[in-house]
Structure 1
């Protein structure tokens, strides 16, 4: 019995140590990305790409036009220019990707908009989202025309189609970590897997800056820089304005009656802050946890958000609301909210999350509703009447 207790204590201690090691700070993430620049004796390190906000990846340039993409999960990809061979004696963990890249299996739906922004959708042959799941019109049309084929979602890929189409790269989102056997199977077939971690970026503009990674991959660095700059310049006019002091709650009601809200450290509250507002929940959730949302009971939501100046309903899960009455039908408590009484309830459009390169526009939308009210001209939200 004594030995069993000691074993349990050691086991618990090991779990704690593992958790502390795996939850690194942004600075620790940068440190991990700074290692092993000497990757082969045949090429010389030249420079690192300057990133303004992103902390989950790094790009290093080498002689001969070679580029190394490093991701905070430890994966590394060497992008080899067209008509060149990979250098010899590379570090064993480095995956070689030869340009031009094509026949990509796109599972990370948020990345599709980045490929659209740099005019690289022709490189995508397979999709993890079916036709009716796309809100990006170019992706929907490409699937309707047969230029992009459905190859199964992340957990149930159509391996036969993926192999028959000559897939050269799978771009997955973080959901693949729940089915590691799928990644192992793809890699077992010789298909490299790149996991997009843009959702782990703490700053909303850091999420968009991942377009620069895909610009490197597709040999479209200038286009990626221009696409990113276009969104950041959108915010130039409001970046020096004082905060309006107006509070905002961002939420949706789940099927079981609870309320899903963003944690205070999530990128949505940061967008609200950049827009000149204040997220109603100041210290909600564990900042060290990678989970971006949490559920609370409607009574708890009422206590924390009833005096919020604005409510923004997140339509991503259960679809767009037709009217304010439709929302109020979900809970009588909402009728007593200040924002409801003042007519300050807005709903996001369904394409908001897929159009990942428009976060600057969304921030401007929030700024507009805070400063202009119901007359605001918005792209990704509308007033519930």
Structure 2
């Protein structure tokens, strides 16, 4: 297996990467245009002559080099080189597994930052149980020996890696490129799913990725012209230390509620000086915002599922006086939700059914279960 090395090359500005017309970017690299993205704002792809691609994610930049193609000369020093085929990936960001499975590229992953029993995705769990994917340690404590022995070609991390920058630096010192994905920073669920196009580009599955995204987009297309239901909604979880965790008003979950026809009761909670998608509120402040909500949706992906109303009220007795509790309109998400990042249309459709039907059949719901 070929290892994709991180190369540090002589500095030369790659001017005009976003240009629509071809412009010389270096002695051996010419940008011809930008790959069109419909929703995603956290990454861009500049297409170059010869099949090369320049990927920008935040402040990180990557040059994707086609198989057997020469490395262009005179590139900037900060570029990370990704030589195709990209194989033996160490996948730490769990939300990336579903897009990769959806495009038929599971065999590109050799290492996981999650153990087999931590995967809700059947294909990922079975691949680990069958020995096709090995556990290589968490993001903060990777098993470097296992990673090196696997001839790892790429580590895909989420932004948690910035809490342990020494790990990223060590992987790079070993010649292993590190891609830090930022899909959770997208404010639109379709933008988050559109990251599948990046993985399609990297893994030679571009057409499959575009097809998967188009199908996901079409699943919720019928909701686009529907008016708001007028239902107010609180989406939350209760922490073990007695706080309510809610999504910010500009988060993709808030946008899903809106797309499903609801009004998110914490829509005014926006940036508070950090990049987190959530805000912790005291139970009193949460109650003040959620008490008149028509629908309560408990997010089980953080603290685990709640299987009864009694268990929820034990976490937060104040909820007993909430309108949704008294009217029996309290729901819980499946714990698998965060990992099933290509299935967000199903959650939107689930929420729409909850907002528009008095008692939607559970057989029609994939991610929501009524708490009774």
In the superposition, the TM-score normalised over structure 1's length comes to 0.88
* Aligned residue number for residue 27 of structure 1: none
1:38 Cα deviation from its structure 2 partner: 4.2
The number of residue pairs the alignment matches comes to 354
For 1:202-261, what per-residue CA distance to the aligned partner results, in whole angstroms no more than 9, with x for missing partners? 222111111111111011111111111111111111101101110000011111111111
1:50 Cα deviation from its structure 2 partner: 0.7
Native 8 Å contact 1:40 1:91 kept in 2: no
Give the one of 34, 44, 47 matched to 1:61.
47
Q: What is the DSSP-based 3-state SS (H/G/I as helix, E as strand, rest coil) of the residue aligned with 2:71?
A: coil
5+ residue gaps, structure 2:
1-14
Which runs of structure 2 are paired with 1:224-243 in the superposition (5 Å)? 224-243=209-228
Q: What is the DSSP-based 3-state SS (H/G/I as helix, E as strand, rest coil) of the residue aligned with 2:179?
A: strand
For 1:108-135, what per-residue CA distance to the aligned partner results, in whole angstroms no more than 9, with x for missing partners? 1100111011111100000011111111
In 2, the alpha carbon distance for the partners of 1:286 and 1:380 equals: 28
* Aligned residue number for residue 174 of structure 2: 189
* Aligned residue number for residue 355 of structure 1: 340
Native 8 Å contact 2:254 2:267 kept in 1: no
* Aligned residue number for residue 368 of structure 1: 353
In 2, the alpha carbon distance for the partners of 1:177 and 1:33 equals: 26
For 1:311-336, what per-residue CA distance to the aligned partner results, in whole angstroms no more than 9, with x for missing partners? 00000122112222221222221111
Native 8 Å contact 2:292 2:324 kept in 1: yes
Residue 108 of structure 1 pairs with residue 90 of structure 2: no
In 1, the alpha carbon distance for the partners of 2:158 and 2:349 equals: 27
In the superposition, the TM-score normalised over structure 2's length comes to 0.91
Q: What is the DSSP-based 3-state SS (H/G/I as helix, E as strand, rest coil) of the residue aligned with 2:198?
A: helix
1:187 Cα deviation from its structure 2 partner: 0.4
Native 8 Å contact 1:33 1:70 kept in 2: no
Give the one of 291, 307, 311 matched to 1:326.
311
Q: What is the DSSP-based 3-state SS (H/G/I as helix, E as strand, rest coil) of the residue aligned with 2:250?
A: coil
Sort the Cα spacing of 1:347 and 1:120 in 2 relative to 1 into closer, same or farther, 3 A. Answer: same
For 1:184-211, what per-residue CA distance to the aligned partner results, in whole angstroms no more than 9, with x for missing partners? 0000111100000111112221111111
1:379 Cα deviation from its structure 2 partner: 0.8
CA RMSD of aligned residues (A): 1.8
For 1:125-165, what per-residue CA distance to the aligned partner results, in whole angstroms no more than 9, with x for missing partners? 00011111111111000000010000000000001111111
Which runs of structure 2 are paired with 1:257-336 in the superposition (5 Å)? 257-286=242-271, 289-336=274-321
Sort the Cα spacing of 1:353 and 1:32 in 2 relative to 1 into closer, same or farther, 3 A. Answer: farther
